Amino acid sequence: MKIKTSRFGDLEIDGGKILFLPEGVLGFPAHKRYILLDDDRQGPFIWLQAVDNPELAFIVIDPLALDESFDVRLYPKDLSELKADGMRDVSFLVIVTVRREEPPCIILNMQGPLAINHKKLVGKQLVLSSHDVPVLLVPQAS
């Protein structure tokens, strides 16, 4: 399947690897189909590209790559919505924002992780209300 992207041009993707987010990403509820684009040059970062909107893409990262203590428990309703048999079917990604003002920084939205069932290719963005889960600010190297 061919998709258009503003960052990577036209891409040929495997239609069997499209992630379905029934509720979309916060702020973008109309966009429900995404593909993960792994670019080895980007280090641990991955692109979450909307399949149906060339302009919409998020930088994401596995939160465990930066915080080994990251731990989210899902409610039975969440597992059901993800079509997951248990936590072993689910992995997490967090959205990264790069701020270029002074001082530049990278913000990881640890309070709004994406839970993804990679077996069924279904995901949802969680909203964690725990004050124990920070939004991490990572200073950018100058």
Instruction: Quote the pTM value.
Output: 0.87
Please tell me the predicted confidence (pLDDT) of residue 99: 82
Please tell me the CATH superfamily of domain 2-139, with its number.
BH3618-like (2.30.290.10)
Please tell me the predicted confidence (pLDDT) of residue 34: 98
Question: Which ranges of the chain have pLDDT less than 50?
Answer: none
Amino acid at 68: E
**DSSP codes of every residue in the chain:** -EEEETTTEEEE--GGG-EE-TT-BTTBTT--EEEEEE-GGGTT-EEEEESS-TT-EEEEE-GGGT-TT---PPPHHHHHHTT-SSGGGEEEEEEEEEE-SSSPEEEE-TTSPEEEETTTTEEEE-----TTS--EEEEPP-
CA angle (20, 39, 84) in 5-degree steps: 30
Please tell me the predicted confidence (pLDDT) of residue 138: 63
| Integer Cα distance of 39 and 17 in angstroms | 16
